[in-house]
Structure 1
Amino acid sequence: MGCCSSTPLNPDIPVEIPAYIKRLNSNSDPAILKQVEDVMTKAFTGSNTSPPEPSIAWCFDPDGNVDDDYSKPLKAPPTKEREDVLRFIIKFGIALSGKHNSIFALFEEDEYGKATDVVVGATCIIPPNTTNLHDPGMCEFIALGLTSPPPTVMQPRMDKVLTKVMKEGHKKWAHDPHWYVYSIGMDSEKQGKGYGRKLMSFISSIADATELPVYLETHGPRNRRFYENNGYVVKEGKILEHKGSKSLDKHEGFLIMVRPPSKK
């Protein structure tokens, strides 16, 4: 388990941060942090035209996706309860990564290539450490001021399945210091413009400069292709299943991916 009220880290970023990316922490401009929260919440929640974050969608409602495929959009517009759950999850990621100065927001560029003040994507990263910061204990939740549990409807799948699989995968494939993409979300209305590639390229540059791997989890062929195109390799696919629920078993299941540092 993560340490109780862990000591804040401020990892060195030995690369130049592009003008269209800003490094944020918990004390950054509240207006920008709210944009990050809104963009990531919308991306993770999904809609009937854009897919949600698959594993959380499975935990929340195993019957809620088109064709029972969690890499596809929702069957219906998201409920307020779903949006509230995903906002809480995003808020926690922002609080945890923000404590360690490791939120990176991506801003839209105008027709001249100049960064605007509009956030189009963001990632919350857990920096390299030896204290399992990716696995916060209850005291860490309390220290961050976020104590609400997930709704009863999703607790069995989240607590007994997803959390267990994530812990096992991390222990098996990322037991040495590494960068962990805790969460990443892009504005679905801005996709196809190369923004996601720019953000991932920046993350890769940090990993290469520090000579450390990057670890993440994902699901679905589209996400897999995106990450593979950015140097990630699937290490393992895990089927998520719980008695009485439909399984997350298509497309090789819940994918554990690692990007080794590029050797120049």
Structure 2
Amino acid sequence: MGCGVSSCCIPRAEVVEYTDSALPEGFVGVNESSDKKLIAEFVEVLALSFCGSTTSSPEASISWAIDAGPEGSNPVLPLSSEPSKERKDFYNYLMKFIFLTAARHGMCFALQDDQGKIVAAAVAFPPNNRRLHETRNSEWIHIIRCLGGFSNLPKYFTSGRSAKVLGLLDKMLHKAHRQKAPLRHLYVHCFATHPSEQGKGYGRKLAEFLNSCADYMRVPTYLETNGVSNERFYGKNGFVLVGERMAVEVDGQSFKPDGLEGISCMLREPAVMANVTVPK
């Protein structure tokens, strides 16, 4: 998946010190220089988790964007049928793209079990004043070329309702992010547990590790999520809802995970807050 990084296209790396010791047992950092098999497995775990299946829930907002389902259906629930190849390919592409935007900043982490299998994964952006999570047009083009060019873009990005909704979500999430987390912070962009490993405590272990990183850096942690159980999970890990949920409506259809009014933006304060000022 590797491709040359052009300084004119890609913002410089924002690598920070996030711990005063080695990574905890079972954790490994993943970047563009990592073993290709490790990168592929990392991307696969993210894609499987976000895609969902008949036995595991998808990431609700993206799933709703590409397939809203019948009016009134709950986007948090497992899929009604096994995901198509087209859907799987979309999520695989999406996670490759996200990995390439974040990897050089040094906060992509995998949690492995005793056999070395990745059971949970996270893509995070370190504290910065450059909104690194907001992919610039030149960076978009560069990464698209790395992934096979514009002809290889999944149709969900380029046409129909899905392209409209994905574009709207992108704009709304960026706007909410700026408003709800104006200080320097750790941004958890993707958080995933392998579908076959859910309910075994791996997600909690990953969340605790990310919390320890934020505490070491003395910064808040920000993320977006959907639905009652996800809000509860992050609440148990120190996060609180920031303001009202972000309502999303497209062509008369409303995004209501578990009946809640939209996307949940959540923030966790560090154990000790650093002396910071709001960036201009």
Task: Judge same fold: TM > 0.5, yes or no.
Answer: yes
Q: Which amino acid is 2:180 matched to? A: W
Matches within 5 A, 1:226-241: 226-235=233-242, 236-241=244-249
Separation in structure 2 between the aligned mates of residue 27 and residue 108 of structure 1, nearest angstrom: 22
Secondary structure of the 1:238 match is coil
1:259 maps to which of 258, 268, 279? 268
List alignment gaps of at least 5 residues for structure 2: 1-7, 274-280
Separation in structure 1 between the aligned mates of residue 44 and residue 31 of structure 2, nearest angstrom: 16
Matches within 5 A, 1:150-165: 150-153=157-160, 154-160=162-168, 162-165=169-172
Identity in percent: 33
2:46 maps to which of 29, 33, 40? 40
CA shift digits 1:49-69 (9 cap, x unpaired): 11101110011000179x611
1:57 maps to which of 52, 63, 74? 63
Secondary structure of the 1:225 match is helix
CA shift digits 1:187-208 (9 cap, x unpaired): 1111121100000000000101
2:188 maps to which of 162, 168, 181? 181
Is the 2:193–2:203 contact (alpha carbons within 8 Å) kept by the matching residues of 1? yes
Separation in structure 1 between the aligned mates of residue 9 and residue 128 of structure 2, nearest angstrom: 15
Is the 1:26–1:101 contact (alpha carbons within 8 Å) kept by the matching residues of 2? no
Separation in structure 1 between the aligned mates of residue 235 and residue 229 of structure 2, nearest angstrom: 10
Q: Paired residue for 1:71?
A: 76
Separation in structure 1 between the aligned mates of residue 91 and residue 73 of structure 2, nearest angstrom: 20
Structure 1 runs (4+) deviating above 3 angstroms are none
Separation in structure 2 between the aligned mates of residue 259 and residue 41 of structure 1, nearest angstrom: 26
The question of 1:97 aligning with 2:102 is answered: yes
Separation in structure 2 between the aligned mates of residue 135 and residue 33 of structure 1, nearest angstrom: 22
- Shift of the alpha carbon at 1:152? 1.5
Pair 1:81–1:151, CA change in 2 (3 A): farther
- Shift of the alpha carbon at 1:4? 4.2
Separation in structure 2 between the aligned mates of residue 45 and residue 182 of structure 1, nearest angstrom: 16
Is the 1:15–1:205 contact (alpha carbons within 8 Å) kept by the matching residues of 2? no
Q: Paired residue for 2:250?
A: 242
Matches within 5 A, 1:2-151: 4-16=9-21, 17-63=23-69, 68-109=73-114, 116-144=115-143, 145-146=146-147, 148=153, 150-151=157-158
Pair 1:106–1:63, CA change in 2 (3 A): same
- Shift of the alpha carbon at 1:80? 1.1
Q: Aligned-pair RMSD on alpha carbons? A: 1.8
Pair 1:45–1:151, CA change in 2 (3 A): farther
Secondary structure of the 2:234 match is helix
Q: Calculate the TM-score normalised by the size of structure 1.
A: 0.90
CA shift digits 1:19-72 (9 cap, x unpaired): 20001211111111111111111101001111101110011000179x611111
Q: Which amino acid is 2:205 matched to? A: K
Is the 1:41–1:90 contact (alpha carbons within 8 Å) kept by the matching residues of 2? yes
CA shift digits 1:225-247 (9 cap, x unpaired): 11000000111301211015x31
CA shift digits 1:106-153 (9 cap, x unpaired): 0013xxxxxx31101100111111111110112112233245361423
CA shift digits 1:3-22 (9 cap, x unpaired): 94100122112243112000
Separation in structure 2 between the aligned mates of residue 177 and residue 64 of structure 1, nearest angstrom: 40
Secondary structure of the 2:245 match is strand
Secondary structure of the 2:82 match is coil
Is the 2:48–2:194 contact (alpha carbons within 8 Å) kept by the matching residues of 1? yes
Is the 2:18–2:214 contact (alpha carbons within 8 Å) kept by the matching residues of 1? no
Matches within 5 A, 1:171-210: 171-210=178-217
Separation in structure 1 between the aligned mates of residue 173 and residue 128 of structure 2, nearest angstrom: 17
Worse-matched range after superposition: 139-148 or 201-210: 139-148
Separation in structure 2 between the aligned mates of residue 239 and residue 138 of structure 1, nearest angstrom: 26
Q: Which amino acid is 1:106 matched to? A: L
2:173 maps to which of 163, 166, 170? 166
